Structure formats: structure tokens, C-alpha cells
Chains A and B, each alone.
Chain A
Amino acid sequence: MIENAHIVRINVDGQERMTRLKTMLHVPGNRLGLITSIDGSQLVTLLLDTNTGRSTVWETPLSSDVYPSLTMMIPQCHWFERSTWDMFGLKPNGHPRLKHNLLHEPYDASLFPLKTDHEVESHDTDRFYKCLEVRGQGVYEIPVGPIHAGIIEPGHFRFSCLGEVILNLEIRLGYVHRGVEKRIVEVPLSRMRFVAESAAGDMIAANALAHAVAVESCLQIEESPRARAFRTISLELERIAMHVSDLGGLAGDIGFAAVSTSMAILRGDVLGCAELLTGTRFQKGFIAPGGISREPSDKNLSQLRTNLKKIQLKLKPIVDFLFSNQVARDRMTNVGILTPKLAADFGVVGVAGRASGIAYDARKSFVHGCFPRQNMVLPVQQAGDVLSRAKVRAEELRSSLEIIYEILETLPGGDTAGAHHDLRSLNRFKFKTNDCGIGIVESFRGELIHLFFTDGDGKIIRYAIKDPSVNNWTALAIAVRNNLLSDFPLCNKSFGLSYSGHDL
């Protein structure tokens, strides 16, 4: 057993894993973080305790490339098991819908990018993909994508419809699989943060922060209080920008142009704030292991304060217009319902989870930036429809602005550069051998996990990134069932998921 500040690593054999996981997940506050492997000769199961902020890694040695699937018992395993098959060639026996998640037909059938310990024993590695077929009189299919009509990332949606009603939606992802998890272990530590940032272009601050926290947790170093404050502002600014963008998008899909364009203008203002703090609109390269990469000037900080006040004043009436308009409310109410039961079964996170009764926010549980804040009040809704998700977003906009004000008011003095903060010489840090590091961050989409393992030389051999979208794509597919086809854009926008974060 290896232990550091935030994470415990234990060996659990295959039989025990099967029996214990289900019981563990029934304990309130416990969550399944992710399932993956390190080099293909074991399974790694990450369990999170959201009450104490501690994480446990179960390592299960495997004697062959086939292992029993847990999906029938624990539905949320299904996506992890599919991805682990693609990346490591580990086949979950008994998986009800085993399909390739990440690697499509153009990839060589024998390619398992992250498997390093041995050749994969020959089993079915055909990359052929077949969508679920819904049969019955009058049922027809609509294929959409991978290239979508708007300006959005690629993915394939296969709708099976009866009349105007969606009977089933199958989502095929993997079109933007770029090999992030492999590249990140190929580069030296000083460059890793930039590869981490490339995981999802709208979650740059969140990914950089998760990376920094993971590295710091393994090295057992701490950033200075001032750097911590700036990191939190950076994360919250990203949340504000994207929630504004998503609420505007919702209004756009309803056809409420006054609100959607007002939100678009406002988003420009928020990105301007991000530019003041970090130097770029998307906050690139700002958060780094050990602290931050540049100190914002006092002039910029006071400008930031003024601009945020203006944004808050502008935001309120626009949000009110959206929620007080009866047509807009009617379009969002009882549409795209995700029941709390299904949300819990599939481990849904973030806004979608909180809109379906799951009171979980990583800012309340895990160390990152100025978090955890145990006393945070979460805007939990029970209805699980588009309106609930919109309400959660609006509420979080308000609370994020307040968090930033509070931090700016009580901004700790001192240096952002602590003793460990020379970004020029990050590579001099040596990780402990056979150790692991973890960073869990509440991005604007929800729980983002960075988990890495070091080998016998202290080199990072496996770096896993779990984007919140991994949990939530299935939730979208469930939520649109029995809804009108024309409501799909609205449902999709209300979840606001990432393709690139999932595909990596």
C-alpha cells in the first residue's frame, strides 16, 4: 500500500473487485472516478470519497487480456470498459454493447496505443462499427455528422425515430482522437502542461489546474496563497465565459435572438477579463505546476474588478429575460428529462448531475485552487429537464462572480512564485518511484480528473485524463429518448458536452 496526501493505492484482486465495487458505490458520497489500465497488465479502478476528499486506486493484476465486464451490474462502467479495450486491448467479457470508442476503421487493427508490456493475444480486433438498429413499422434513421451543420466539433449521431419522436440515439465519438494521453508521457514535465491544455480547448484553465494539482500532489509541494487565489479566479472566469456561452446557445436554439446575441456580447467581455488576468482570452499557459506563469499587474486587477461589476450588472437583466419569458420557459420545461435515478446509475457529473438531484461539486470535496469549500451551497434541482440545467447554470454564474469578488477583496499578498516555482527548471523535479498523482477539478462541465502513475525510475508512464463528458454523453442519449427530434439541439446544448475532451 502506497499513500500520499490525497491518494491511497491498494491491490485488489479480480474477484474482490467485482464484489466490493458495487457495495462501495452504494455508500453515500462514494463515486467511481475512472477505470483504466497503466500498461495493459492490470486494471486500475479509481474510487472517490466526496465527503473526505480522499481517493483510492485499486490495482487489479490481470493474467490475460480478457476480464469479466462489470457493466451489467454497474452501468457507468460501460464507457470506461470500451475505451480501455481500444487503448490497451483488454477485452471486457460480457459487455452488452462492446464497440470501439476511440479508434475507428482507419487505424490498424493491431494498434493498442497505450499497451506497453506485451503483445496483445489475438482476439477480435475488427474495427467495424455497427449502430444499434431499432426495428418496427415506420421506424426510420437519421444519420447526423461527423461534420455538423454549425461551428462545432465532430461526432456522429444516429437517431432512430418514429414520426417526430426519437426512440433511440446512438452517439459515436472518437473522430477527434489525437493521441493526447500518449503524447503527454512522451514529453518532459516542463512541457506536459501544454499537452494537458490541448485536451479540450474550452477547458484550458481546468485542465491546466488539474495537471498542476496532480503534479503537486505527487511531489508534495504547495503553491503560494497568492498563486492559489489567481488560479481560482482563472477557473471561475472560464466557468463564467462558458456558462454565458451555453445559456446564449440555449436561447439561440429556442430562437430567442435578443438573449443569445446579448450573451455573445457579454461573453466577449468575460474573455476580456480573462485576458486581463492571464494575457490571453483562453488563459493559455497561465496555470503551471508550482504556481502560475505570470503575475497580473495591479492596474489589470483593478480593471478586472471594474469590468466584472459591469458584467454582473449586464448579466442580470439578460438572465431574467430568458427565464421570465413564457415561450422560452415552455420550450425548456419537461424537455430532455434525465431522472435522478438514471443520473446516479450513470455517474453523471457537473451541471447535468446537479440538475438531476446529484448534490456533487468537486469544489466542495477536492483540493484545487481555493477549494474545497465545504460550506458551498449547491444549486440542486430535481426535475432534470432543460430548464433545470439552465437554472443551475444561471445560479452558478452568480456564485462564480461572488467567489471572484471575495477572492479579489481578500487577495493574499506576497509572491506568486514560491520556493518550488521556477518554471524554467521544472524538469529537475524527481517523482517518487511507483507513485501516483491526482488532480480533481470542477471544470464548468463538471468533475475533471487527471491521474498519473510513475514507474520504477520515477518517470511518468501513464497519464489518464477523465473529462466530465465521458460520464455525461450517455446521459444525453438517455435524456433525448421520447423527445421530439426538433428539441434535440436544445437538449444537446443544455448538456454542453465536449467531443475533444472525450476523444483525447
Chain B
Amino acid sequence: MIRLLNYLITRKIATSKALFAPLGDGVRGLPMLTGESISEAEAVELAEGCPAGAIRVLEKEDGRQVLEMDRGACTTCGFCLDVYPTAAIKSDPNTMIATRKRDQLISSVALNDTSLDTASGVAGDTACKTASGVKTDTAGGVHEFFEAADNLPQDAIESDLARENLISKIFGRSIAIRVVSTGCSSCDLEIGAAGNPIFDMERFGMHVVASPRFADVLLVTGPVPKAMHEPLRLCYEAMSEPRLVVAVGSCAISGGVLKDSYAQANGVGAVLPVDVFIPGCPPHPWSIIDGIAMAMGRKRQGRLK
């Protein structure tokens, strides 16, 4: 007993001092578009090799071809970064990558062109960059998150903001989390890791609870296969209002590599309305904490309040 106490007392504090530290050198994060253009041949090969359909070559209405990247589908397999590296795609070291809107995870770049595709890409791509606070000198530049939402109708922005303010008032200080796993368990392990002494999400007021009855936010991992639709819906209905849903990981956002299987595993969105999307396969514990902070309404302009 004395030896054990001695051991514990002589340990240094394990909790990470740096909050939301970016990923280290050589660590593979989610891919992001650099803004460099890419040839059609390369784009087609990338789209062929991407296991989750996160990279696609699309034709726009005006006839231009673009490479579209959906970070919400990416399974961090490394194909576009390690196996088939190009100047157009690099690893994103940022861990603050959660978004409130599904389409903010999607960005695109025109093929054989030197500028970012401004028609549809900037909103998504900028949101990613803003969240990281990373300045970029590529064409297109950095827009603030809410500026990028300019294209949305005014009342939609206002109601979003009103809801965000309300949520922030209620949950801004602390939030009770119910985790429902419906997938391969790696996201669950990372949620578990977010609660360990290294990341320690409890210090931010985030508590994992054992029943939906006293939960404020539902964290869902996995593609939600058919047999889990009903249990998940019942779990959501057992929560009191206001309640939030966070989709954790590519499978929960889009179905991942199992999208459109006969088990209809296409993510949480097929069953419940989703408030925050945390991409990654699995997302880093910091990304999970960041996403929960966003759900709490504690994140404005990419910073933790």
C-alpha cells in the first residue's frame, strides 16, 4: 500500500498542458486540399483508390471538372497521402476539425486550374482552415466562419445563432454525454481516451453518463446499421429537451467504407438530426473534445470560450 502511494505521489501529472495540440510531424491527420491544382489523370486515380468515396471527380453545371473531397467520408486510410501523394492534398495537422454543417466538410478544387474552386469549395475549405487558425496564402484566402456562411438566407443564420446562444446558455458550462456505439469500436476507444488522465475532458465540464434520461448530448459512433435504428431512436426519445446529437467519426457521418450496404449503414443522419460532425477514423481525442465543446456552444470563431 505504501509502495503504491509512493508510486502515485512520485508520478508527474500526465494531463496534457497543451490544449488541442496539432498532430506531430509524420503523423497522418485528415487530408486537406492545399489549393494546388491537380491533373485529371491524377484526380481519377485518387478517386479510384479512395476506399470510402471521399474523393470524387465531378462535373460542375458550367462544365468544369472538379476534384471534390469529403472529409466526412474519409477513413484516414492514407491512400491519397502515403500511397499516391500529390501536391493538391496534404495531411491536416489540426485537431479542431468539427463542424456544425455537413457540407462544411466538403471542399473542392478545379482540375488543371491554379485557384481554389470558389463556386462551392470555399465555404467548406475555409471552415476547416478557420477552425485551425491556420493562415494560408493560397488563392481563396481565409474567411471567417460566419462570413463564409454569407450565402445562406439571413433568417437561417439568425435562427442558427439564436439556437446556438440558447444552447450556450444552457450547456455552456457543463454537459452530460451519452455514448451510443454502433460501429467497429475504434471511435469508442478514442472517446474513452478523451476521458483518460491525458486529455481529461471532465475538466471542461464534459461528463459521460450511463443513461439517456440525464444526458444532454448523444454521441453516436459507427454507421448505425439496421438493427440499431430502433434502439438509437428510443435512446434519443428518452432524452429531455433540449437535446443534441454529435456524429463521431466517418461512419457516423457518412457510412464510411460500408456506405449503402444491405445493412443500410449510412450514418446517424439517416435516423436522427445531427448538430455537430466530428470527422476522422477514428477522430483524435482532441477532435472529440473540440466537437463536444462546439455542441456546448462554447466555440465561437474556432476558439474555446
Contacts and interface: CB of A to CB of B under 8 A. Distances in A.
Interface of A: 104-107, 111, 113, 146-147, 149-154, 174-180, 182-183, 187-188, 190-191, 194-195, 197-202, 204, 245, 258, 261-262, 264-265, 267-268, 271, 275-276, 279-282, 284-286, 293-294, 297, 300, 317, 321, 325, 423-424, 498-500
26 contacts: A147-B232, A147-B235, A151-B188, A152-B185, A153-B181, A176-B181, A176-B182, A176-B225, A178-B265, A179-B263, A179-B265, A183-B261, A195-B258, A198-B256, A198-B257, A202-B186, A204-B186, A261-B196, A264-B193, A267-B193, A279-B27, A279-B78, A284-B78, A285-B82, A317-B3, A424-B45
B75 A284 contact: yes
Contact of A113 (B78, B227, B256, B262): B262
Contact of B77 (A175, A199, A284): A284
A241 to B, nearest CB: 9
Nearest to A202: B185
Contacts of B48: 188, 190
B77 A151 contact: no
Interface in B171-230: 179-193, 196-198, 208, 210-211, 222-223, 225-230
Nearest to B281: A284
B236 to A, nearest CB: 11
A172 B11 CA distance: 43
B84 interface: yes
Given A180-B258, A265-B197, 14 more contacts: A107-B226, A146-B231, A179-B261, A191-B51, A194-B52, A199-B184, A200-B184, A201-B188, A267-B196, A279-B78, A284-B78, A285-B78, A293-B82, A424-B49
A104 B282 CA distance: 27
Contact of B186 (A258, A282, A325): A282
Contacts of A178: 183, 223, 225, 258, 261, 263, 265
B51 A321 contact: no
B181 A179 contact: no
Interface string B255-279: 0111001110100000000000000
Contacts of B190: 281
Given A199-B184, A202-B186, A177 B263 contact: yes
B18 interface: no
Which residue of A187, A317, A321, A500 has the most chain B CB atoms within 10 A of its CB atom?
Answer: A500
A229 B210 CA distance: 43
B41 interface: no
Given A179-B262, A294-B78, A264 B185 contact: no
B4 interface: yes
B210 A150 contact: yes
A294 to B, nearest CB: 5
A286 B8 CA distance: 36
A147 B78 CA distance: 32
B78 A198 contact: no
A285 B79 CA distance: 8
Interface string B82-104: 11100000000000000000000
A500 B183 CA distance: 7
Nearest to A282: B186
B267 to A, nearest CB: 12
A293 B83 contact: yes
Contacts of A267: 193, 196
Given A147-B235, A183-B261, A264-B197, A279 B82 contact: yes
Contacts, number: 190
A154 B191 CA distance: 15
A175 B76 CA distance: 25
Interface string B32-70: 000000000000010011011000000000000000000
B143 interface: no
Given A151-B181, A151-B208, A177-B227, A198 B196 contact: no
Contact of B185 (A153, A179, A293): A153
Given A152-B188, A201-B189, A293-B83, A285 B222 contact: no
Nearest to A249: B192
Nearest to A145: B231
B27 A275 contact: yes
B211 A149 contact: yes
A268 B186 CA distance: 14
A285 B257 CA distance: 13
A171 to B, nearest CB: 15
Closest A-B pairs by Cβ, 8 of them: A201-B186, A179-B261, A201-B184, A194-B51, A285-B78, A149-B210, A264-B196, A279-B28
B65 to A, nearest CB: 22
A433 B148 CA distance: 55
Which residue of B8, B211, B257 has the most chain A CB atoms within 10 A of its CB atom?
Answer: B257
B56 to A, nearest CB: 14
Contacts of A201: 183-189, 282
A202 B228 CA distance: 20
Contacts of B27: 275, 279-280
A284 B52 CA distance: 14
B153 interface: no
Given A191-B49, A282-B282, A294-B82, A498 B185 contact: yes
Contacts of B156: none
Interface string B1-31: 0011001100100100000000010111000
Contact of A106 (B7, B45, B196, B230): B230
B7 to A, nearest CB: 6
A297 B26 contact: yes
Contact of B258 (A105, A198, A294): A198
Nearest to A105: B227
Contacts of B196: 261, 264-265, 267-268
Contacts of A284: 75-78, 281
A150 B177 CA distance: 11
B262 A106 contact: no
Which residue of B26, B181, B208 has the most chain A CB atoms within 10 A of its CB atom?
Answer: B181
Given A201-B183, A202-B185, A106 B78 contact: no
B231 A154 contact: yes
Contact of B183 (A176, A188, A325): A176
A253 to B, nearest CB: 14
A258 B77 contact: no
A200 B232 CA distance: 21
A174 B257 contact: no
B257 A194 contact: yes
A271 B196 CA distance: 13
Contacts of B51: 187, 191, 194-195
A293 B81 CA distance: 10
A153 B3 CA distance: 36
A146 B222 CA distance: 14
Contacts of A197: 77
A104 B226 contact: yes
Contacts of B77: 194, 197, 284-285
A151 B257 contact: no
B94 to A, nearest CB: 15
A402 to B, nearest CB: 24
